[in-house]
A and B are shown apart, each in its own frame.
Chain A
Amino acid sequence: MRSNSTAALMALALSSATAIFQAGPAFAEEPQKGGTLRILGSAEVDRFDTIPPATSDAVNFQRAVWRQLISFAASADTAEQVKAVGDLAEDVPVPTNNGLTYTFKLRQGAMWNAPGGARQITSEDIERGFKRMCNPAIGSPHLTYFENLIVGLADYCAGFAKVEAKVEPMKAYIEANDITGIETPSADVVTFNLKTPANDFIYLLSLATAAPAPVEVLNYMPDSPEYRTNFISNGPYTIESYVPDSMLRLVRNPAWKPETDPLRKAYVDAIEIVAGVQADAAMQQLQSGDGDMLYDHSIPPASAQMLIAQGDEKMSTVTTGRTRFVWINTVSNNNGGALKNVKVRQALSYAMDKAAIVQQLGGPTFAKPLNGIFPPNVIGYHEFDLYPSKDAKGDPEKAKALLTEAGYPNGLKLKMPYRNIGSDPALAQTIQESLKKAGFEIEISPVPPADFYPRLITNFSNAQNGVWDLVPAGWSPDWPGGAAGSIFLPQYSYNGTHGTFNFSDYNSDRANELAAKASATTDAEESVKLWQQVDETVMADAPTVPLVAVYTMLYHGPAVRNFLPYAPGGQGDWTNVWLSR
């Protein structure tokens, strides 16, 4: 969950907290209103606007100030956590027209905190949100998903790309043009027409980027200082004050009415998000009660171990759907193109000591060995291992045999840069040591975190020129639950143009075909089966070596009650906790 606005990969990763949540003790107390919730973080909330790419941590802020058509309930129940429910939409519609048309009825009484007083959110506002997605100033990181699905959006965006990135021309374009696939027959009904059936379209609408936009925001550049000072919220909270790199204070939004919002109870009166607190200090403040919750910190493993040892019941885990894996470079000619040979890649898969990675991350409470591209509780996950070894400790003998078979009896020398932050250096050394047993000599080199994804890994020429042979990477699905597509499409499919996150242009026609079927089918069970086949097909080619699925540890201060995880944010829901001081 550690993410960095500069690390594009992580920015995309709106971690989806599915699954196991060891719920804290049930409090029989009456909910209390009032108080100020103090959230501690190292970085500040990086984006106030819904459109530009934001860190995954900002999702919790968005939950408090924004509402979109679809969202998720904060719940201790793992199934409920990932069940898409209506937020601004009255309910989740069943698609008509062979799965191509979705019609939403908007909830009446849901208001904008507009400068001229509270104003009903209309279907026009919904469409305006989609129009802003491809503004030429700062576009949405999720645009491709929507462009591939919504009729006319790609054309609309192609036209918008030619517009000058200034307020007036952008406003004029948005007001003059329409997206053909989004219809607004009346103020309270909005209809989406899709190019192909997509069973994950509903989940896509839960992204903040699909939130509506009030007409006033067209007068400002996206997320500009003017946008921020004239912030118009539609959630239970709005911004009262903001001191850059220091504190963001949210207070109640007068236009929000509790009876129009089934998902947020909004018990606390104010929320303060304090930036610039180190992880150790934040944990101490939480333990002493000076702070209530964490913003972007993950709990340091050593602290977590201590809390577990003390039996602290404020500790809990959540599966964020986050995975760690090693990407293999198949486009360079290093070692005579050795890694293009599937046998060599399979040898790497056999050699990997996944148990050591689990141990390094803190044991089975923190991580679980992973053998496919999908983490537990994402559709398509199932128990299988094409490269089995005893206790997941790796099989160096088998790896050596494969390596010899491939023509490298003396082993291989490979370059592996790693992100020099948190547990990554330790993991890199663990990987190095485990591959050594099978004859791979791994040369590791630290890379500053700010450079790792943007400069080194997502720059395709580095892969082609053999700057790296292996890279340890991570991924979190963009939305919870039916998120197989958000893992497979950006990373493991190739349509002729290089995709940012498919680091070495991996392609499998069979997997693509299966995935297309899996996305289109309306039969949930069939979809699951197809995604499972996708996973196995990809793994047979071994483009990556999956390492582990990571469980995120959560912790909160003693005053916090009703701490229920909000799946997309991978944290307790700010809008549903109450304080008992």
Chain B
Amino acid sequence: MTAPATDSAPAVVQRGSFELTLRRLLRDKAGLLALSFILLLVAFALGAGVVEAWTGHSAFEQYRDTGLTPTGMPVGPGAEFLFGTDGLGRDVMVRLAYGARTSLTIGVLASLIASFIGVSIGLVAGYFGGWADIVLGRTMDLVMSIPVLLCALALVSVFGPSVILSVAVIVFFSWTTIGRVIRGQVISLRQRDFVQASRSLGAGPVSIMIIDILPNLSVPIIVYTTMMIPNGIVFEATLSFLGLGIVPPAPSWGGMLAEAASNSIYLVAWWLIMIPGAILLITTLSFNILGDALRDALDPSGRPTRKRRKVSKS
């Protein structure tokens, strides 16, 4: 039986940091919406085979009788082709699903690798300072000053387009942002007492970096990696759009947009631009919103104060 005295007082619940983060995250409507779209997209990409089986259309087969007019124009959205067909009579929906696989794989993979490189270099530069910082810091500046697209085009035209090269190009040009952020954070962290304590206990630099500093960087790492995913996806789409990314007939969103733009086919087939374009837009938007939401949830100190004022007024 509960004591009557405690009835009027609010119950105090002890919550862990994970639970608090989750609660903050769940309160963010936009973030939640973005997260559900991303989950749906992942399901769509993973279930590309199911989509293929359900429609009965392969991503590569050209349906020249049903998917193209006799004059070679694509067929619009309808009963047989839910999202219409492309300029070669292939099912846009099935290709979109397989394209999602490509985009997500490249986006996530490239972001993870870039983030790993960025964090490692940022840690080293920030922790050791001095010459290490000068060399690594200038390298970052150098990479950031390279005209991205021009260099990517040159690389691809020398080595020929491929998935691996696309990932490499994206990684090469995206690790610097997170690298700089981490370096800045590490410079301030290494002055802190717990690092000094560790050092006085005899911990070596590697151990301090990994055991003491790295956990304190989890917030920027999670947030920046999430934010890098849309950049990777757009970068891949850009390369494919220019014919330098994924080699056709493998589907990719950028490639689909490029095919729509070539030969002015978009003039008669709006769905070739609108559908992949909209999905690309919503995907990048979702990842960005999710990144924002994660930052707010993980690091409440950085949240705008407007909300608090509202709470205090009520």
Contacts and interface: CB of A to CB of B under 8 A. Distances in A.
- Asked if A and B are interacting partners, one says yes
Interface of A: 279-280, 300-303, 305-306, 356, 359-363, 365, 420, 422-423, 425-426, 428-430, 432-433, 444-446, 448, 451
Which 7 A-B residue pairings sit nearest by Cβ, starting from the closest?
A: A363-B71, A300-B264, A302-B264, A359-B72, A420-B243, A302-B267, A302-B265
Interface stretch (B56-64, B274-282, B297-305): B56-64
B263 interface: yes
B88 interface: yes
Contacts of B244: 446
Contact of B157 (A279, A303, A425, A448): A448
B267 A425 contact: no
Interface in B70-128: 70-73, 87-88
B264 A445 contact: no
A178 to B, nearest CB: 48
Nearest to B261: A280
B68 interface: yes
B160 interface: yes
A359 B68 contact: yes
8 contacts: A303-B264, A359-B64, A360-B87, A362-B72, A363-B71, A422-B263, A426-B259, A426-B262
B259 A301 contact: no
B63 to A, nearest CB: 11
B62 A356 contact: yes
A362 B73 CA distance: 7
A305 B87 CA distance: 13
Interface in B231-250: 243-244, 247-249
Given A425-B248, A445-B247, A451-B157, A430 B263 contact: no
Contacts of B129: none
B161 interface: yes
Contacts of B249: 429, 432-433, 444
A305 B268 CA distance: 9
A279 B266 CA distance: 14
Given A363-B71, A433-B62, A445-B247, A425 B259 contact: yes
B264 A360 contact: no
Contacts of A365: 71
Contact of B262 (A303, A422, A448): A422
A360 B72 CA distance: 5
B91 to A, nearest CB: 14
Contacts of B243: 420, 425, 446
Given A426-B87, A445-B160, A301 B263 contact: yes
B88 A360 contact: yes
Nearest to B74: A302
Nearest to A278: B264
Query: Which residue, of A279, A301, A445, has the highest number of chain B Cβ atoms within 10 A?
Result: A301
B124 to A, nearest CB: 39
A305 B71 contact: yes
Query: Which residue, of B88, B160, B262, B263, has the highest number of chain A Cβ atoms within 10 A?
Result: B263
Contacts, number: 83
B263 A429 contact: no
A280 B261 CA distance: 11
Given A301-B263, A305-B71, A360-B72, A429 B248 contact: yes
A356 B264 contact: no
Contacts of B73: 302, 305
Contact of B247 (A301, A363, A444, A451): A444
A356 B71 CA distance: 10
Contacts of B269: 302
A363 B72 contact: yes
Query: Which residue, of A300, A359, A430, has the highest number of chain B Cβ atoms within 10 A?
Result: A359
A448 B244 CA distance: 9
Given A300-B263, A300-B264, 12 more contacts: A300-B265, A301-B263, A302-B263, A362-B71, A362-B72, A426-B87, A429-B248, A429-B249, A430-B88, A433-B61, A445-B160, A446-B243
A423 B64 CA distance: 17
A260 B119 CA distance: 80
A356 B90 CA distance: 13
B72 A306 contact: no
Given A301-B72, A359-B68, A365-B71, A429 B265 contact: no
A223 to B, nearest CB: 29
B70 A363 contact: yes
Nearest to A357: B72
Nearest to B60: A433
Given A365-B71, A446-B247, A425 B268 contact: no
Nearest to A449: B243
Contacts of A444: 247-249
A417 to B, nearest CB: 9
B161 to A, nearest CB: 6
Contact of A426 (B88, B264, B266): B88
Contacts of A446: 161, 243-244, 247-248
Contacts of B265: 300-302
Contacts of B64: 356, 359
Nearest to A301: B263
Nearest to B264: A300
B206 to A, nearest CB: 44
Contact of A445 (B60, B61, B161, B259): B161
A303 B263 CA distance: 9
Contacts of A301: 72, 263-265
A423 B62 contact: no
A303 B267 contact: yes
Contacts of B264: 279-280, 300-303
Contacts of B157: 448, 451
Contacts of A433: 60-62, 88, 249
Contact of B88 (A302, A429, A448): A429
Contacts of B266: 302
B311 to A, nearest CB: 54
Contact of B263 (A356, A359, A423, A428): A423
A237 B70 CA distance: 44
Contacts of A423: 262-263
A155 to B, nearest CB: 44
A365 B266 CA distance: 21
Interface in B205-256: 243-244, 247-249
B152 to A, nearest CB: 13
Interface string B42-66: 0000000000000000001110100
B153 to A, nearest CB: 9
A114 to B, nearest CB: 46
Contacts of B70: 359, 363
